[in-house]
Structure 1
Amino acid sequence: MTLRDEIIAVRSGSGRPERMLGEFRRAVLLAPVEGGGLMSAEQGGVRWLYAFTDERAMARFAAARGVDPATELEYVSILGARLVDAVAPSLDGPTGVAVNVAEPEESMLFPPVHGIVPDEVAVDTPAEVTGGR
């Protein structure tokens, strides 16, 4: 199954979160670029990087933000694993990934917690693992 399919299955209650996370890590995602960096938003003290499973989902996001449909968003293609293993830890503060945020049945948050991001930047990792951080 694709990441999109795994998200739909988890949201409906029939999927397995560990399979979805594996698919997320293997998926090539589209991450819009804005102002020289990846487009993101902050909510509740967490920075959320936007990522999309395909151009259709990214176009709906752009339309929801009022972007003219004739305007193409600049984006990079990046593995989900790279987003959480390399990009998120390189940014200041807790950072997660918001996938397909404008798609009611296909959206999913991958928060900055143990098992998703590296332990040294996870917000829920015990102090003994992080050296007292």
Structure 2
Amino acid sequence: MTVRNAGLVHQVRMLRAGAGDPSMMLAQFRLSAVLVPLWGDEAVWTADEGGLRWIFAFSSKAELAGFVRSKGLAVDGFPYMTVFGSRLLDVAVPELGVPGGIALDVAGKEPMLFPPVRGIVPDAVALDGPVTTGDTGVG
């Protein structure tokens, strides 16, 4: 499958230029097929930063190759999978087991983060999600 994400790249550029609409960019990401590098035993490549776990995703093979090269690794044959952004946000992020989000094109000129907040990831794993009250032991 050839990944062509001109719409996603355009939305990211518009937002970074201060002229975009965050909801349109998020919608475009959710509809886009992105490349996710695999590490180790076919696990998606993640990194922990700022108390969050970030899943790496790329809008094109060129963006993925730039990232792989930046890590000093060989690009040829580097394993990756193609997945829709919606699946990353709705399935992969909750499966992390810790607060996390998506880091798009992190080695490129126009990276974008999709943090674990309501409206981006499911409320159950959003850091600003609904507060549940349980037995406090008081009383």
Normalised by the size of structure 1, how large is the TM-score?
Answer: 0.91
How far 1:90 sits from its partner (Å)? 1.1
2:133 aligned partner, one-letter code: G
| Equivalent position of 1:114 in the other structure | 118
| Equivalent position of 1:66 in the other structure | 72
**2:129 aligned with 1:125, yes or no?**
yes
Over the aligned positions, Cα root-mean-square deviation in angstroms equals: 1.3
Query: Do the aligned partners of 2:33 and 2:82 also contact (CA within 8 Å) in 1?
Result: yes
Cα distance in 1, alignment partners of residues 88 and 74 from structure 2? 27
How far 1:63 sits from its partner (Å)? 1.1
Q: 2:40 aligns with which of 32, 35, 41?
A: 35
* SS at structure 1 position matched to 2:93: helix
Q: 2:11 aligns with which of 6, 14, 38?
A: 6
Cα distance in 2, alignment partners of residues 19 and 7 from structure 1? 10
Q: 1:26 aligns with which of 14, 24, 31?
A: 31
In structure 2, runs of 5+ residues without a counterpart are 1-5, 135-139
Query: Do the aligned partners of 2:124 and 2:130 also contact (CA within 8 Å) in 1?
Result: no
Cα deviation 1:32-90 (Å, max 9, x = unaligned): 00012100100011000000011000000011111134x33200100000001011101
How far 1:120 sits from its partner (Å)? 0.4
How far 1:132 sits from its partner (Å)? 3.4
Question: Larger radius of gyration, structure 1 or 2?
Answer: 2
1:17 aligned partner, one-letter code: P
Cα distance in 2, alignment partners of residues 108 and 77 from structure 1? 18
| Equivalent position of 2:3 in the other structure | none
Cα distance in 2, alignment partners of residues 117 and 49 from structure 1? 13
Post-superposition, which runs of at least 4 consecutive aligned residues in structure 1 deviate over 6 A? Answer: none
**2:101 aligned with 1:100, yes or no?**
no
1:92 aligned partner, one-letter code: G
Cα distance in 2, alignment partners of residues 35 and 92 from structure 1? 18
* SS at structure 2 position matched to 1:73: coil
